[in-house]
Amino acid sequence: EVQLVESGGGLVQPGVSLRLSCAASGFTFSNFWMHWVRQAPGKGLVWVSHISPDGRTTNYGDSVKGRFTISRDNAKNTLYLLMNSLRAEDTAVYFCGRDLFGPTDFWGQGTLVSVSS
């Protein structure tokens, strides 16, 4: 059974860093592009970042470029998102996903990040 389980969310103050993790199981993790997508409370979906199967290619959405870093450890079947200089507007549920723009998409259930003083 395919599973993606996000962790690492929580309540943090503005300006701090936080690292999200996404543990994958049930499929060959190293074969797939992986993504992070976020959704602020009551708002729409926003694509955050993606990473190639070998980890060499990454892209970011404009709102997080220069502050967030995506990475993966294929030996541990885990995707990461390092979020620096967090702002109130980064408050959202963060979903990790496999092949989100292809026919074999799979989404995790999300982890909530709240940025507030």
Partner 1 sequence: QSVLTQPPSASGTPGQRVTISCSGSRSNIGSKVVNWYQQLPGTAPKLLIYNTNQRPSGVPDRFSGSKSGTSASLAISGLQSDDEADYYCAAWDDSLSGYVFGTGTKVTVL
Under the rule (CB under 8 A), what is the footprint of partner 1? 35, 37, 44-47, 50, 59-62, 95, 100-105, 107-110
Is the separation of the CB atoms in 51 and 32 below 8 Å?
no
Closest distance of CB 45 from partner 1, Å: 4
Closest distance of CB 43 from partner 1, Å: 8
C-beta closer to partner 1: residue 16 or 45: 45
Is the separation of the CB atoms in 115 and 88 below 8 Å?
yes
C-beta closer to partner 1: residue 77 or 99: 99
Closest distance of CB 75 from partner 1, Å: 26
Is the separation of the CB atoms in 114 and 11 below 8 Å?
yes
C-beta closer to partner 1: residue 55 or 60: 60
**DSSP code at position 26:** S
Closest distance of CB 61 from partner 1, Å: 5
